[in-house]
Chain A
Amino acid sequence: MLFKNVLLGIFVIFSVLGCSGQKGDLKSTVTVWHWMTDRAAAFQELAKQYETLAGVKVNFELYAPSDAYAQKIRAAAQGINLPDVFGILGEKRDFALFIRAGHILDLTPYMDANSATWKNSFFPKALAVNEFTPNNSYGIIPGIYGVPIDILTIQMVYNKKLFSHLGLNPDQPPKTLDEFLKIGPKIKAAGLQGLVSGWGETWMINCFASNYAFNIMGKDKVLATIRGEVSYTDPDWIKVFSVFKQLQDSGVLAQGLVTMINKSAEQLFANEKAVFAFNGSWCVNVYQGMNSKLEYGAMLPSQASAKYPMSIWGGAGSSFMINARSKNKEEAVKFLIWLTAQDQQAYLAKTTNNLPANKNSLSEIPEVLAQFSRGMDYATHPNIWGISEFSPVIEALDRGIQSILIGEKTPEQVAAEVQKIKEKELAKRRVN
C-alpha cells in the first residue's frame, strides 16, 4: 500500500512538473547561428531586449572561427538541420547552391510589404549582395534571399602620425599610383614598413587586383573577361598585374607581405610599424581594441588610370538568411525586421564600430568609420556582378600575383598562365 502511494505521489509530481514545463515551452524560440565574435555580446543584449518586447526567445549561437562556421553550415545543410537563421560565408555561387537546395526562404514578399518599407530602409548596395536579379547566371528565381546586418568597404588606411614623420601631408593621402609609389623610398629610408595586409590568405590579393582591374579597364571589360570574351593576356590585364610589380619594386609594400595573415597586418598597423594597410571597415573596431590612440584615415587605393573610377569591394558585410524549412520562419522574419530597424542598427554600430546596413542609422559614428561609409559610393562586389569567375582561375590569378610579388614570374607569364587555366575551364563547361 505504501509502495503504491509513493508511486502515485511520484506520478503526480512528474505530471505537475511536466505541465509546467510545457507551459514554458509555449514561448517560441528562434535559433541564430553566427560567427561574429566581435558582435556576440551586442547580439545577446539585443536578444534580451527582443524577448522582453515580443516574448520570443532568440538564441544566438556563436561558432568561430569563420572557417569552422562555414564547414558547420555546409554539414548542417547536408543533414537538413540548419537553424532558423544563419549566414553563408562564401561566394554568390555558394549562396545560389543553398537556395537551389531549398534551404533559404525568399524574402521578397516581406521586403515588398507595406510599400517596401523594410526594403527601403537598407543601403541598396547592401541589399544587392543578397539579391538575384532576373536572368541571373545562377538560374535562381529572382528575389531577395538575405538580410544585411551591416555594410563594409575594403579600402586603404594610412597612419597620420607616420605621414607627418615622413614629411607628408597627413590630410592629403596619395591619389595616384605614381604618388603612392614615390612614398616607397621614404618608407624604406625611415626603416618603417609600407603597406600591410592579409595577402597570405590570397582573397585580399584578389580584392586588390579587382580594384585596379576596374580602374584600368572598367567594369564592362572585367565582366567580359569573366564571360570569356576578353583574354587575361589583354594589355589592360598585363597593366593590372604590372601594378603589383611596380608596388614591389618601389618598396612601398611591407616585407613578407606575401605570406602575411591579416591579424598580423592589423597588429603591425595598430602598433604604428606600418604606414598603410589594406583592410575592411571592420578594422575600426580592431584598431580601437589594439591601440585606441591610433591616428589614421581611410583612403581609396591610389588610381593607376584616370580613364575609369577606382572601385573597391563593398556592400553587405554580414547577412542573415532564414531557413525555408524552419517552423519558426515567420518569427524569424519578424525578428530580423526588428534587428535591422533604425535603433537596433544604431546600437550595433555604436557598440561594435561596424557600419549599419540601415541607412537611417548612420548618425553618431566615428569620423574614420564615416570615411569608410563614403567609400560605398565606389563600392562593387563579385556577388553583385551576376557572374562568377571559375575557382581555378581565381586561384591561378592569386597564385600568379604572389609569384610576381616574390619576383618569380613576370606579369606577362602570369597573364598567360591564368588565360590557359581559363581556356581549360571554358572548354570543360562547353563539354558539360
Chain B
Amino acid sequence: MTLNQMKIKATLENYVFIFPAVIIFSVFYIIPFIWMFQLGLTDWDGISFTRAFVGLHNFKEILQDNNWWQSVRNAGYITLIALTFQNILAFMLAWACDREIRMKNFYRVIFFIPPVLSAVVVGLVWRFIINDVEGANIINRVLVQLGFSNLAHNWLSDPKTALTTVALVHCWQGFGWGFLIFLAGLQTIPRELYEAARIDGADSWQAFKKITLPLMVPVIVLVAILTVLGTMNVFALIISLVGGEFAGHTSVPVLRIYYSMMRSSRFGYACAQGVTFGMMLVVISFIQYRFIRKPGKIKC
C-alpha cells in the first residue's frame, strides 16, 4: 500500500466514524431547521394541506411585533440576571467546594438537586413559597420577622417584581449546572501552580486572580454560553409560576412562539419566530465563542 493510499484509507475511516453523527445531526437538526425556515415563508395554519407562500412577510411582521420584542427584552433581562447573579454564585460555591472544607461532598449533592427537578415542579413549589394567598407565604413572613414588613407583598402579581422573581427562581434552579461545570474546571488546575505561588509569597486573592481566573476563562465562557441558551429558552417555569404572560410582564419568546402556534393557529408565523429566535441565539453564542478562541484578549 502506497503512502497516498494509506492517507486516503485513513481519511475514509475518519469519515466513516463521523458519518452516523452527521446523519443524526442532519436529520434531527439541520433538515428541521431548513424546513422550519421554509415554513416561515408561508402562511400556514398547521392543519391544512395547502400553504400559501408569503415570502419574507412573516419576518417583516416580526420586526414590527411589539409583543415579540417585549418578550425578547424580558428573556434578555432574565438572562442578564442568570449570567451575573447565578454564575457568580455558582462560581463562588464551586470554588468553596474545591477547597478542603467539611462536608463538601454533601454540598455537591445538595447544589445539584435543583437542576434535576422539573421546571414545572420548581415553579409550583416556589409559587407555594412566595405566594401569600395560595401558598405558605414564607418569603413575606421572613421579611416581616426581619423587620422589613414594608417589603412584603405579592411578588408574582406585582408587575415591578414579577419578572425579577421569575429570574431569581430560574437562577435557583439553574446554578447547579454552572456549579458542576465550574467545579470540574477548577479540579483540572494543577495544584502545583498554587503551591509555587504560595512559595513566591502570593496570598489567596492573588492566587485566585493570577491563576484560577485566567485558567478558568474557557470554562466561564462555556458556562456563559450554556446559561444564555438555557435561559433564553425558559418556558415551563413561567407557565407554572405566573400562569402565562401576565399582561406581557413575564412574556418570553418561546411562550410567544407557542401562543402563535396553539392559540392563533399561525404555524408559518411561529416558524418564522422560531428561526429568528434561533438565529439570535446562534449570533450570541458565536460572539461568546470568539472569547474562547482568543482567551489572551481577556485580561484578569
Interface hits, A378-432 → B, CB 8 Å: 391-392, 395, 399-400, 402-403, 406, 408
Interface of B is mostly: loop
> Is the pair A70, B243 in contact by a Cβ cutoff of 8 Å?
no
In the assembled complex, A55 has its CB within 8 A of some CB on chain B: no
Chain B contacts for A94, CB-based, 8 A = 47, 265
Given contacts A74-B47, A101-B49, A391-B263, whether A264 and B134 have CB atoms under 8 Å apart is: yes
Asked if A255 and B154 sit within 8 Å, CB to CB, the answer is: yes
Q: Known: A200-B246, A201-B243. Contact between A259 and B156, CB under 8 A?
A: yes
A230 within 8 A of B: no
- A residues in contact with B162, CB < 8 Å: 259
Inter-chain contact B243/A200, CB cutoff 8 Å = yes
A399 to B256, CA, bound (A): 13
Q: Is the CB of A391 within 8 A of B264?
A: yes
- With both beta carbons as reference points, the residue of chain A lying nearest to B64 in the complex is identified as A424
Shortest 7 CB-CB distances between A and B: which pairs? A200-B243, A391-B264, A402-B247, A97-B47, A256-B157, A259-B242, A264-B134
List of A residues within 8 angstroms of B159 by Cβ: 406, 408
Do A403 and B49 touch (CB < 8 A)? no
Within 8 A of B (CB), among A226-277: 254-261, 264, 267-268, 273
Please pick, from B47, B133, B259, B262, the residue contacting A256 in the complex, using a CB distance under 8 A. B133
Q: Is B248 an interface residue (CB 8 A)?
A: yes
Which residue of B has the minimal Cβ distance to A424?
B64
Which residue of the partner chain A has the closest CB to B54?
A432
Does any Cβ of A come within 8 Å of B115's Cβ? Answer: no
- Complex formed: what's the CA distance from A200 to B259 in Å? 14
A202 within 8 Å of B by Cβ? yes
Taking the closest CB of chain A, its distance from the CB of B122, in whole angstroms, is 15
- Chain A residues with Cβ below 8 Å from B131 are 256, 264
Any B CB within 8 A of the CB of A188: no
Contact of B245 among A78, A261, A268, A399 (CB under 8 A): A399
Q: Does A356 contact B (CB under 8 A)?
A: no
Smallest Cβ-Cβ distance to A198: which chain B residue: B243
A residues with a Cβ closer than 8 A to B are 67, 70-71, 74, 77-78, 90, 93-94, 97-98, 100-101, 103, 193, 198, 200-202, 254-261, 264, 267-268, 273, 391-392, 395, 399-400, 402-403, 406, 408
- Closest chain A residue to B242, Cβ basis: A259
A103 to chain B: which residues have CB within 8 Å?
47
Secondary structure class of chain A's binding surface, majority of residues: helix
Q: Which residue of B lies closest to A88 (CB)?
A: B47
Partner among A259, A267, A395, A406 whose Cβ is within 8 Å of the Cβ of B243 = A259
Complex CA gap A101/B263 in Å reads 19
Q: Are B242 and A255 in contact (CB under 8 A)?
A: no
Q: Which residues of B contact A193 (CB under 8 A)?
A: 133
Taking CB atoms, residues of chain B closer than 8 Å to A254 are 133
Pairs across A and B, CB under 8 Å, 8 listed: A74-B46, A93-B265, A103-B47, A200-B243, A200-B246, A202-B244, A258-B247, A399-B245
Alpha-carbon separation in the docked complex, A391 to B133 (Å): 31
Q: Which of A97, A200, A399 contacts B242 (CB 8 A)?
A: A200
Q: Is B11 an interface residue (CB 8 A)?
A: no
- A73, closest chain B residue (CB): B47
B98 at the interface (CB under 8 A from A): no
